[in-house]
Amino acid sequence: MPHFEEAVRKTIHVGSSIIPIAAIIVYDLYPEEGRLYLSGILALITVILLIIDFLKARSRPFKSFMMKLFGKVLRKNEMEGGMTASTIVVASAAFTIFVFRQEIAVVSLLFLSFGDSAAALVGKHFGRIKLVGPRTLEGSLAAFSACLMVSLFALWVSPEFGWYFTPATLLVGSLVATLSELFYLPLDDNFRIPVFAGLAMELILPG
């Protein structure tokens, strides 16, 4: 049941949106130190996850234990000792929150949560027109649409949070996030989507 397992994986992936939501709360509680607090906590969690990945790759009993718990949602490379997607997601969140201003970090991570999930689910179920490797036009359009929905939400709440987004900034960010998911680069897409989208928006957004 590969489609069901992919749906489970991406449901968990959407759950990573709790990180940018937490960023909004933490920044509100600690306007000056919020970025350092949250990125530091996420960096610590990354280290813990890296240790778990190391044990999974080196210890057969631990690997067996992990397979019993998470075998249904682990990809082949993760089963064979590769770094799990959750580790990369948390690491990219720590980096994104540390490097970019609040609104850009939040939106970039939401692009990852929803855009990447939409691309995978639509691409695997309905994808017919191949673009790059297994990536499909349908999946990329779904990713772009999801990112645009996030952008509309960001424009809507911007006055409430004192953000200064422009439609052009979010449009470019959505496009870059989609292209980052589409093309294969040395960096994992869980890392490159928020980082590249965030960088593009930082270059365009004044202030």
Q: Long-range contact list for 74-80, CB < 8 A, 24+ apart?
A: 75/9
- Other C-beta atoms lying within 10 Å of the C-beta of residue 128: 8
pLDDT mean over 41-60: 92
At 15 the pLDDT is 84
At 95 the pLDDT is 97
CA dihedral 195, 75, 86, 136 (to 10 degrees): 30
CB 67 within 8 A of CB 79: yes
Q: Which helix (H) or strand (E) holds 132?
A: strand 130-132
Tens digits of per-residue pLDDT, 113-129?
A: 999 999 988 988 888 89
Domain ranges of the chain: 2-204
CB 111 within 8 A of CB 177: yes
Q: What distance in Å separates the CA atoms of residue 165 and residue 54, rounded to the nearest whole number?
A: 41
Question: Does the pTM exceed 0.85?
Answer: yes
At 176 the pLDDT is 97
Q: What distance in Å separates the CA atoms of residue 177 and residue 193, rounded to the nearest whole number?
A: 5
pLDDT band at 1 (very low <50, low <70, confident <90, very high): very low
What are the Cα distances from residue 133, in Å, to 42, 44, 124, 138, 139?
32, 35, 13, 14, 12
Contacts of residue 20, defined as CB under 8 A and 6 or more positions apart, other chains included, come to 93, 105, 106, 107, 109, 110, 113
Distance from CA of residue 68 to its chain's centroid?
26
pLDDT above 80 (res 75): no
Tens digits of per-residue pLDDT, 144-184?
A: 999 999 999 999 999 999 998 999 999 999 999 999 999 88
At 81 the pLDDT is 67
Tens digits of per-residue pLDDT, 27-43?
A: 988 888 999 999 999 99
pLDDT above 80 (res 207): no
Tens digits of per-residue pLDDT, 3-26?
A: 556 666 667 768 889 999 999 999
CB 106 within 8 A of CB 207: no
